[in-house]
Structure 1
Amino acid sequence: MAAEKSPEAPAPRLEEEQVGGYVSEHSNFDSLSASSKERDLLADETADAALGRKVHLVNNAIDEIGWTPYHSKLFMLNGFGYAVDSLVMLLQSVVAGQAFTEFGEHGYATGMTIALYSGMFVGSLFWGLGADIIGRKHAFNYSLILATIATIVAGGMPNWESLGFFIALLGFAAGGNLVLDTTVFLEYLPGDKQWVVTLMAAWWGIGQAITGFIAWGFLVPGQWNCSSVETCTKANNMGWRYVMFTSGALVLVMSVARVTVVKLKETPKYLLGMGEDAKVVETFEYLAKKYNRPCSLTLDKLQACGSIRVEGKSKFSFGETFGHIRGLFTTRKTTISTLMIWLSWMMIGIVYPLFYAFLPTYLENAGADVSVTPYEKWRNYALTNISGVFGPILAGWMCNLPFLGRRYTMLIGALLTAVFFFAYTAVRTADQNVGFSCAIGFCLNIYYSVLFAYTPEVLPSAHRATGNGVAVAGNRIMGALSAVIATEADTSTSAPIYICGALFAGLGIVAALFPFEPYGRRSS
């Protein structure tokens, strides 16, 4: 739904109370004390005063209940979703070589990359907008189940075209799951724990490492992998299929755990935006009772804030869809913020893959000898991905420091990544190659993990999944474009290497100029 400001009677003035360290006046939102109002990040940017007042009360209730075992479960199972997304994003790149050898003689060499990113582009938009319309819960669960099916079925495909179709379907499912992992987790978090969304990105590195270990086990030349197009058959080239089947089995375990362990309730902020005040109170009363926590939020207090108006005659009307896009541009500040976030996602979507597309030719022309055995290749791949686990852990600590916050943590991560991009051009040996790859994996994930968390933090709750989905979709379409550029462009020139490094430094500067700093504030 999309809420817009509507005429309403002045809400009755209720008592002021202290809840979870935050002052709340259940009256006109505009009359809140400065110390109370400034805690809510988008307090001055809402287009619906009634919704703003209700969000303020819901934030107070979340802080009052605090961190519970329910949040710990969400951290684990939403983290599984992160791991799945990174795992399946790498699957196409690790299996494409052997699959192409088997039956891709007349296919497009980078077709799997384009298929994956195209699927993720559509999935990010579909599930992002869908989560704002039908709710977080169903999209959250269904997207992971669909990813399970697509991964397993892809491993049984008989030709390049059918494999591409299921890789695209896999991308479609994973693209939505990625949008919802952060959205669902954030909408249950107390204000002083929002930094944990950044820490959760450590699961991204875990998923990448799992892919690396699976590839290391099945793709080393031997009984499961053919060596030439002429002798390659399904019977002697099962390695890439085993990678898909094993990965699919892991995703299945995660999808089953997600619906049986957590039994997710719809997020209160989605229910709030839909006008379901009674269900909001019911959710908080359930958590308070289950974990023996106080909860002073009542239906009367929410209703005293006034009514919100839903755009569109039905959930699936054009007015409803357009309302979610329009809701991201309610004020000048939110407009600038939304556009800068989308720009950042698009830039990193093309810069990072292009750097690695042009790098091998550059190193070869510079006289570097980075050749390794197939065993060492997949070992190094696993090591590089393991290094990505620790970047978000450091970023989670950094972004909760008052003198850094989210913006300057992203600046530091991006600048360090740019430094190693430039330094990579000096690599001349295989050991240096893996060392710099690990350093980049670590530094890149400092930036990336905060960007993943920052994006939903600064988006309005009623349109959060839509804004997040468009951001990720922009990233994916640029990733698909990078695959085309890498195939068609001249890779012998060194200029793209330095341009990519400079653009990454530019990403850090853009982050430092973001108009909102969520540190010490509560998301809408």
Structure 2
Amino acid sequence: MSDVEKQDGVEVGTKVDVSDDTSSTTAGRGEVLSLEDVDPALDAKMHLVNNVIDEIGWTPYHVKLFVLTGFGYAVDSLLLLLQSITSTQAVLEFQPSFSKGLTIASYVGLLVGALFWGMTSDIIGRRFAFNTSLLICSIFAIAAGASPNWEVLGLFVALSAFGGGGNLVMDTTVFLEFLPSKQQWLLTLLACWWGVGQLLAGLVAWPFLSDFACESAPTCTKANNMGWRYEWYTCGALVFVMSILRVTVIRLHETPKYLLGKGRDEEVVQGFRSLADKYGRPCSLTVEQLQACGVVNSEKGANAGKKGMRASIKELGAHLGGLFATRKMGLSTSLVWFSWTLIGLAYPLYNVFLPEYLKSRGAETGDGSNYTTWRNYAIVNACGIFGPVLAGFLCNWRVLGRRGTMVIGALVTMTFFFAYTQVRTSAQNLGFNCAISFCLNIYYGCLYAYTPEVLPSAHRATGNGIAVGCNRVMGILSAVVATVANTETVVPIWICAALYVVMAAVALAFPFEPYGKRSS
């Protein structure tokens, strides 16, 4: 077996013995995106880097990274549920004129956070956002519990969401850019942490909002309504612990694919050799091999941001343009953003309309007690953890791949949504809630993973941030619609459920299938 492959006269990879599963390479796998026509030097370097990632293989470092990036998933979902389950009691205490204010504040913060952390991470790197975003989130989450009025509470909720809003962008990006190709399916499994975050919020709410909550606005005071404040204090403290673990459990290296796009070849090799030495793995990559590939197009842009705001804006424009470098990449980017927009509108609206619709049809969905409410919250969110687990196995099956898994997830979710309109008892309500939570996360978990897999590494965080931003915009819209629309008619429910058919069709139309290929 030859030591080196040749591709157009350039050394592009070193083969190693594939008999050892922990250090084998899958160099025969192609990359999801071919950058040969866009940036041939980066394309050749990416092939080399993917080879050495496969050569080093799965290590304890990746196990730690799976947990620490999972924290960000958990925090994102925790924040969304947190403002939702505390809003009712905060409204009773503060009696604001616009009761949906916390929902909008949360989604605005998540939107700005996704765009800010996503776009800046392609310019200054992933490591800074990874190490600081959860700390910012935790500080303002704890402060939200001490809010003296509705306006201050909304401000702290928005600032906390800003800190946590970039984590869906950063977690998938960071984890993917260290992953061996044989373990890329774990990116889908990472979404199980989303359900963990929701479960945490529900479990904390169960005792606090059952025992420390007022029942009506005229008798509601801070003294007899401390439950929602305890919820923010406790969850904020949990996020703070997560932020500390992120910088103490591992010392995150800047991702190799970010460094590669910036032309920092020496740091790429140094990072791999440090990882290989620590865990006794081979690392055949050399600086000379990378430099022999040429200079990447973005290398000059990597230094442009240091020269002023105008240069930084120009570089941001280059990252946006890079997402549409070819017709196929442009189609893929547009369809991914469209999918995030659809799911961002359909799911929140359904949650808004369904309870009122069922109530108007005489359904008995529970005894209305706080204990039953938060018990059911915990059960439903626990079911959501296992949707991405199934999705992880399905997306790694050749017959389905990523696209087929999303189609199944969307259509099965749609089926349960339509059936849910016939619910008439509390047992049926809980059962259908659990089924939808499970099935929806099959689609959602796979979309989370698919998005960074089909984006070019140099522009991955920007494209991912905009995708998540589209989702947040729809969340804001859903809160406005819920305020002015008739929630007792069946039409919006059927429209929302039908959107899942569109999601399935869009998944079929995606031009890239990452199964069996390596991310660029």
Same fold by TM-score greater than 0.5: yes
Q: CA RMSD in A?
A: 1.7
Residue in structure 2 matched with residue 486 of structure 1 by the alignment: 482
Residue in structure 2 matched with residue 88 of structure 1 by the alignment: 79
Residue in structure 2 matched with residue 341 of structure 1 by the alignment: 336
Question: Is 2:516 the partner of 1:520?
Answer: yes
Question: Is 2:66 the partner of 1:75?
Answer: yes
Deviation per CA, 1:321-360, whole angstroms, max 9, x where unpaired? 1001000000111000000000000111011011111112
For the residues of structure 1 that align with 2:151 and 2:244, how far apart are their CA atoms?
30
1:62 to 1:436, Cα distance in 2 relative to 1, 3 A:
same
> What runs of 5+ residues in structure 2 fail to find an aligned partner?
1-6, 20-25
Give 2:278's match in structure 1, choosing from 276, 286, 290: 290
Q: CA deviation at 1:301?
A: 0.1
Deviation per CA, 1:17-70, whole angstroms, max 9, x where unpaired? 424769xxxxxxxxxxxx968611112566111111111100001000000000
Question: Is 2:448 the partner of 1:448?
Answer: no
Question: Is 2:415 the partner of 1:415?
Answer: no
Q: CA deviation at 1:256?
A: 0.5
Q: CA deviation at 1:230?
A: 1.5
1:241 to 1:16, Cα distance in 2 relative to 1, 3 A:
closer
Residue in structure 1 matched with residue 492 of structure 2 by the alignment: 496
Q: Residue 15 of structure 2: SS of its match in structure 1?
A: strand
Residue in structure 1 matched with residue 424 of structure 2 by the alignment: 428
Tell whether the 8 Å contact from 1:45 to 1:331 is kept in structure 2 after alignment.
Answer: no
Q: CA deviation at 1:12?
A: 5.7
Residue in structure 2 matched with residue 229 of structure 1 by the alignment: 217
Tell whether the 8 Å contact from 1:46 to 1:330 is kept in structure 2 after alignment.
Answer: no
Structure 2 length normalisation: TM-score?
0.93
Give 1:39's match in structure 2, choosing from 30, 38, 42: 30
Tell whether the 8 Å contact from 2:11 to 2:293 is kept in structure 1 after alignment.
Answer: no
> What pairs with 1:254-265 in structure 2 (closer than 5 Å)?
254-265=242-253
Question: Is 2:133 the partner of 1:136?
Answer: no
Q: CA deviation at 1:381?
A: 0.8
Residue in structure 1 matched with residue 15 of structure 2 by the alignment: 18
Tell whether the 8 Å contact from 2:395 to 2:401 is kept in structure 1 after alignment.
Answer: yes
Query: Percent same amino acid among aligned pairs?
Result: 58
Tell whether the 8 Å contact from 2:121 to 2:129 is kept in structure 1 after alignment.
Answer: yes
Residue in structure 2 matched with residue 31 of structure 1 by the alignment: none
Aligned partner letter, 2:448: F
Question: Is 2:289 the partner of 1:301?
Answer: yes
Structure 1 length normalisation: TM-score?
0.93
Aligned partner letter, 1:178: L
Q: CA deviation at 1:16?
A: 6.5
> What pairs with 1:123-522 in structure 2 (closer than 5 Å)?
123-220=113-210, 222=211, 224-310=212-298, 312=301, 313-315=304-306, 316=309, 317-372=312-367, 373-522=369-518
For the residues of structure 2 that align with 1:19 and 1:392, how far apart are their CA atoms?
33
Aligned partner letter, 2:135: I
Question: Is 2:121 the partner of 1:121?
Answer: no
Aligned partner letter, 1:342: W
Q: CA deviation at 1:87?
A: 1.0
Tell whether the 8 Å contact from 2:27 to 2:51 is kept in structure 1 after alignment.
Answer: no
Tell whether the 8 Å contact from 2:13 to 2:27 is kept in structure 1 after alignment.
Answer: no
For the residues of structure 2 that align with 1:125 and 1:118, how far apart are their CA atoms?
11
1:46 to 1:212, Cα distance in 2 relative to 1, 3 A:
farther
Aligned partner letter, 2:352: A
Deviation per CA, 1:112-170, whole angstroms, max 9, x where unpaired? 00000011111100000011011000011111110110110111000000000011111
Q: How many residues align?
A: 500
Tell whether the 8 Å contact from 2:364 to 2:425 is kept in structure 1 after alignment.
Answer: yes
For the residues of structure 2 that align with 1:477 and 1:515, how far apart are their CA atoms?
25
1:16 to 1:121, Cα distance in 2 relative to 1, 3 A:
closer
For the residues of structure 2 that align with 1:307 and 1:123, how far apart are their CA atoms?
33
Tell whether the 8 Å contact from 1:153 to 1:166 is kept in structure 2 after alignment.
Answer: yes
Q: Residue 218 of structure 2: SS of its match in structure 1?
A: coil
Tell whether the 8 Å contact from 1:20 to 1:64 is kept in structure 2 after alignment.
Answer: no
Residue in structure 2 matched with residue 26 of structure 1 by the alignment: none
Residue in structure 2 matched with residue 57 of structure 1 by the alignment: 48
For the residues of structure 1 that align with 2:18 and 2:110, how far apart are their CA atoms?
41
Tell whether the 8 Å contact from 1:12 to 1:304 is kept in structure 2 after alignment.
Answer: no
For the residues of structure 2 that align with 1:423 and 1:125, how far apart are their CA atoms?
36
1:13 to 1:219, Cα distance in 2 relative to 1, 3 A:
closer
For the residues of structure 1 that align with 2:475 and 2:18, how far apart are their CA atoms?
44
Q: CA deviation at 1:211?
A: 0.6
For the residues of structure 1 that align with 2:278 and 2:132, how far apart are their CA atoms?
26
Tell whether the 8 Å contact from 1:45 to 1:334 is kept in structure 2 after alignment.
Answer: no
For the residues of structure 2 that align with 1:11 and 1:318, how far apart are their CA atoms?
35
Q: Residue 219 of structure 2: SS of its match in structure 1?
A: coil
Q: CA deviation at 1:370?
A: 1.5
Q: CA deviation at 1:14?
A: 4.0
Aligned partner letter, 2:177: E
Q: Residue 502 of structure 1: SS of its match in structure 2?
A: helix
1:82 to 1:15, Cα distance in 2 relative to 1, 3 A:
closer
Aligned partner letter, 2:268: V
Q: CA deviation at 1:264?
A: 0.5
For the residues of structure 2 that align with 1:47 and 1:12, how far apart are their CA atoms?
18
For the residues of structure 2 that align with 1:16 and 1:420, how far apart are their CA atoms?
48
Q: CA deviation at 1:11?
A: 8.3
